[in-house]
Amino acid sequence: MENRPRGRLASGRRPGDTSSPTPRQLPGVVLYDGERRAAIARRVRRGELARVRRGRYVTPTAVDRGQALQREARVLAMTAAVATSLRTEYWFSHETAALLHGLAVHGLREQVHVTHAWRPPSREAVGIPLVRHAVALPERDRAVVLGRPVTSLERTMVDCARLLPGARALVVADSALRAGADLDLVATILEEAAGHRGVRQARRVVGLADVRAESPGESILRWIVHEAQLDAPELAVEATTWRGTYWIDVAWPDLTVGIEFDGAVKYSGGRYGDPRQRLLEEKQRHDALTEAGWVLLRVTWDDLRRPDLLVARIRAALTSARARRGR
């Protein structure tokens, strides 16, 4: 397959990067029982239970870290309710499988995806946005995550690459590589799907996938660069300065132009330490890289929402760097 993903080995990661996807656990489901009607109603009033659909309640997850995590919690609750409702053989698939595998999922939609060998009656799981995919799923593409039937990591990566918009698909693909997806098997699944809907895009997504991408923001940034037909950057580029060696998120090392994705989380405290100290360290790092001849662009989530302006900034920086070198 052309354009094999780069950085496929764990050794390609930045030093100290030991993060790996953690499978998501589904919340427990309480089924309606007429004899316990009053007790269930009291627990709902107290906030101890939340109704997901008729006759299905879950223990709410305390999430206070933004809309994305709240949406994930709601989808996990919906998925748990679906698991108690379906009677035919199924596997959670696409974005739902990606979520259960613990992969990064950007722009998650509030619906549940399941794959069946045939299309079962639509009356199952009434009240929940359920997307059914009627596909004969090979044994090879089946897996179990924390007791739940899901499509395999590789199949999930391909399914999302075929279905989702490119940037969102690359987020999942990069994360799947970090989780250890087998690229040879991914290539086989793509070959078997040749001629079907979304396969052409999937090949592009898989070809761009890189285990060294550390965040959804980096993945989206690379897709924007790819779509703008700019020269492909490298990831996790080593840069030597008088202060020592630093790693630049995305860069064109021959032009000493780099991009740092700033999600702002690292300045909020918590596991990242004192935010004031982090800001000081970032300034020292930026100054050292600048003195070493690097041109650094900082990119935030707001910048990713305005791709035209972002592409113009990147193109200008690359053009200026080439002019300095007489290219």
* DSSP code string of 35-100: GGHHHHHHHHHTTS-EEEETTEEEPPP---S-HHHHHHHHHHHHHHHHHTT--S--EE-HHHHHHH
Query: Rounded to an integer, what distance in angstroms lies between the CA atom of residue 217 and that of residue 209?
Result: 14
pLDDT given at position 84: 84
Q: Is 106 left (phi over 0), alpha (psi -120 to 50) or beta?
A: beta
Q: Which residue has the higher pLDDT, 10 or 298?
A: 298
pLDDT given at position 114: 95
Give domain limits for the chain. 10-19+62-210, 219-324
For residue 2, pLDDT beyond 50: no
pLDDT given at position 98: 98
Nearest to 239 by CA among 220, 224, 258, 226: 258
* Domain made up of 219-324: CATH architecture: 3-Layer(aba) Sandwich (3.40)
Give yes or no for a contact between 256 and 324, defined as CB atoms under 8 angstroms apart: no
Distances (CA, A) of 170 to 179, 190, 223: 14, 15, 7
Q: Among 124-138, 148-162, 264-278, where is mean pLDDT lowest?
A: 264-278
The mean pLDDT of 196-215, rounded to a whole number, is: 95
For residue 274, pLDDT beyond 90: no
What's the mean pLDDT when you consider all of the chain?
84
Count Cα atoms within 13 angstroms, Cβ side, for 305: 4
Query: Rounded to an integer, what distance in angstroms lies between the CA atom of residue 58 and that of residue 77?
Result: 7
Query: Rounded to an integer, what distance in angstroms lies between the CA atom of residue 318 and that of residue 250?
Result: 13
Confidence of residue 13 (pLDDT cuts 50, 70, 90): very low
The tens digit of pLDDT for each residue in 71-115 reads 888 899 889 888 888 888 999 999 999 999 999 999 999 999 999
How many percent of the chain have pLDDT more than 70? Answer: 78
pLDDT given at position 74: 87
